[in-house]
Structure 1
Amino acid sequence: MFLLLVFTLYSILFFNNEPNSLVLSKDLVANSHPLYSFEEELFFNGVNSVNKQNLWKSDIYGGIVPHHTIASPLISGFFYNLSKQEVKTIIVAGPNHDNEGDADAATSRIPWETPFGLLSVDEDLIAEMIFETGVELKDDIISDEQSIAALVAYFKYYLPETNIVPIILKSGFDISNVEKLSEYLSQKINKEIVLIVSVDFSHYLSFDVAQKKDEITLSLIKDNNINGIYGLNSDYLDSPPSISLLIRTMEKAGADNPEVLAHSNSALFLEKPISSTTSYFIITYR
């Protein structure tokens, strides 16, 4: 009877009678990051758009995924494929958009609330990373950072048993810091511990101009040219440090052949011409 009562209460908190529909939970525990804004319809549109026959040919060590949730079909497709891999921990790095706080690189050791339950972190790996690299523990500034928080529902939905290691990087996180952190991460990366960077590309440009900027950015990524990437602004991408961290980590781990699986733009998802767009790539490393 007790178990039945618990299950019933869980169902009331999380689900209603509509398929693929959720009722957002209240705070589950005091010591967790609160639920980030969750757009249910947009999320499940992405879930339902996934082509489940078009699977990756092999496991990955790293990749690039958007955090702009208009691109939910791309995000869902990425994590659906990743869910077929035996992943225990996802290291996810992205921009500290507002350059908040005094840490150039920040992480958190508390879980995230999602509509699908608590998303746990890999506490041991985080503790070691802090000790070895100087990444700082800053729970307060990471809670509502879009580059991490916008993806936590996808992590929990597609990889419910997987832990994460969140890292947010200020724009001032320089190449010497990239080299140090990538040296550490490259020793941890394998098919069970993958590095994902959460990055959106060209911002606030027309579709045609964005396409041209994306060609330049992609060329630099394929050439592993982090000096060139550090010379780019938001016309091209929102986090040169995050992309550079991925490139260097993959190089050092011996998985430095990027494969572009998707390239798109918010104008295409909205199906209308707009003057200010955002562009996206899905790129994997094997």
Structure 2
Amino acid sequence: MPQVRQALVAGSFYPAEPYRLQAWLQQQLAVPSSSAAPALGLVVPHAGYVYSGAIAAAAFAQVAVPPVVVLLGPNHRGQGAPAALYDQGGWQTPLGPVAVDEALAAAVLAEVPGVAADPAAHAGEHSLEVMLPFLQWLRPDVRIVPLMLQAWSLADLLTMGQALASLLQRWPQPSLLLASSDMSHYVTATAARAQDLPVVERLLALDAAGLYRQVHQARVSMCGVYPVTLLLATLAGLGCRGGELVRYGHSGEVTGDEGSVVAYVSALFR
């Protein structure tokens, strides 16, 4: 019987009741954007929908979701393989199951160095789960390849990105790369912007090495630096030349407290 990962943060990060979740998605994504079109990549935040959902939705609304989405997210808990792939079965959300694209997952295991099959590592992690309702709403038959990263060197991530780009160029079905990350954590809104904007500049320039170094040298508490670096390295190999900022914001815009915020960005790569 195929393994199914049950929803972990339904009811906390996003509504657990299908009708409430559908109503929220309808409000955020009901009107198709005139610019909705195929894309190579997305970067979106993964906090609770009340805080970052609108920032993520603004990017999702501009994308025609293809049959397969490769999900790249951080491993907040630090458990399991350094690059843990959920390679079989599916993921459950209040909107129903999402199937893993097992053929592409097997190819990733065979061709991308450092990746290991480790579904158990995903059991307690939220960074990819919160992406799924957006994808299901926009394309109910979407299939996913969920890959979760711990700390990697820049050289390793660039090598992994080259291998993943080569694989996706040869793959018979179109795919979307989606990296999940929040930006600065628990600093003032002013400090968050000062720390984050140089990182966002590197992000939009498709500068994987520059983003990696900026985050580490400036000690920016960007939780998804490793998946985003991998995304940029892969996009460069796919011929992407740069990205566009969709929206930047922070939790203080919702809570009214700008003394300690978590910041978020969404960006789109054609």
TM-score range, shorter chain: 0.7 to 0.9
Question: Which of 61, 65, 70 is 1:80 aligned to?
Answer: 61
Question: Which of 181, 188, 209 is 1:206 aligned to?
Answer: 188
What amino acid does structure 2 have at the position aligned with 1:260?
L
2: distance between equivalents of 1:241 and 1:78? 21
TM-score, scaled to structure 2: 0.85
| Cα offset, 1:94, TM superposition | 1.0
1:257 is matched with which residue? 242
Name the % identity: 21
Deviates more, 1:248-257 or 1:228-237: 228-237
Contact between 2:36 and 2:62, CA under 8 Å: does it hold in 1?
A: no
If asked which structure has higher relative contact order (CA below 8 Å, sep 6+), I would say 2
CA offset digits 1:107-141 (Å, max 9, x no partner): 11221111111111110000111011241111111
Question: Which of 93, 101, 109 is 2:72 aligned to?
Answer: 93
Q: 1:71 aligned to 2:56? A: no
> SS of 1:164's equivalent?
strand
2: distance between equivalents of 1:268 and 1:47? 22
1: distance between equivalents of 2:103 and 2:58? 29
Q: Where does the alignment leave 5 or more consecutive residues of structure 2 unmatched?
A: none
* Distance change >3 Å, CA 269–CA 229, structure 1 → 2: same
Structure index of larger Rg: 1
| Cα offset, 1:44, TM superposition | 4.1
1: distance between equivalents of 2:109 and 2:67? 20
| Cα offset, 1:81, TM superposition | 3.1
1:168 is matched with which residue? 148
Contact between 2:98 and 2:143, CA under 8 Å: does it hold in 1?
A: yes
2: distance between equivalents of 1:275 and 1:30? 46
TM-score, scaled to structure 1: 0.80
| Cα offset, 1:283, TM superposition | 0.6
1:15 is matched with which residue? none
Question: Which of 84, 98, 118 is 1:106 aligned to?
Answer: 84
**1:23-102 alignment runs, 5 A limit:** 31-38=3-10, 39-40=14-15, 44-45=23-24, 47-50=26-29, 52=31, 54-56=33-35, 58-69=37-48, 70-82=51-63, 85=64, 87-101=66-80
Question: Which of 115, 120, 127 is 1:147 aligned to?
Answer: 127
2: distance between equivalents of 1:264 and 1:144? 26
> SS of 1:230's equivalent?
helix
Cα RMSD of the aligned pairs, angstroms, is 2.3
1:192 is matched with which residue? 174
What amino acid does structure 2 have at the position aligned with 1:115?
P
What amino acid does structure 1 have at the position aligned with 2:28?
S
2: distance between equivalents of 1:238 and 1:160? 29
What amino acid does structure 2 have at the position aligned with 1:151?
M
2: distance between equivalents of 1:277 and 1:243? 21
Q: Where does the alignment leave 5 or more consecutive residues of structure 1 unmatched?
A: 1-28
| Cα offset, 1:175, TM superposition | 1.8
